[in-house]
Amino acid sequence: MKKKILIFILSAVCCLGFVFTLKREPTIEIGRFVVSTEEKKYTIHPIETAIYRNSELKTFKVKTNVKSHLDSMKKIDQIVAKNPFEEDVDVATETRVNYYGDLYSAIYTIYDAEGNVIEDDLDVLKLPTKDMNSCIVRANVKWGRKSNYRQCIYFFKVNFIKPMQ
Report pLDDT digits (tens) over 110-151.
Answer: 998 888 888 888 888 888 767 778 888 999 999 988 888 999
16-34 mean pLDDT: 78
Entry pTM:
0.76
Residue of higher predicted confidence among 58 and 26: 58
- 39 has pLDDT over 70: yes
Q: Which residue has the higher pLDDT, 54 or 24?
A: 54
Other Cβ atoms less than 10 A from the Cβ of 147: the count is: 10
Q: Give the H/E segment covering residue 76.
A: strand 74-82
Amino acid at residue number 8: F
Residue 78 near residue 160 (C-beta atoms within 8 A): yes
Rounded Cα distance, 53 and 95, in Å: 33
Contact at 8 Å (CB) between 48 and 150?
A: yes
pLDDT in tens, 79-115: 776 656 555 555 555 778 888 888 889 999 999 888 8
- Contact call for residues 123 and 109 (beta carbons, < 8 A): no
The rounded distance, in Å, linking the Cα atoms of 165 and 157 is: 24
**Cβ-based burial of 40 (10 A; exposed 0-12, middle 13-18, buried ≥19):** exposed
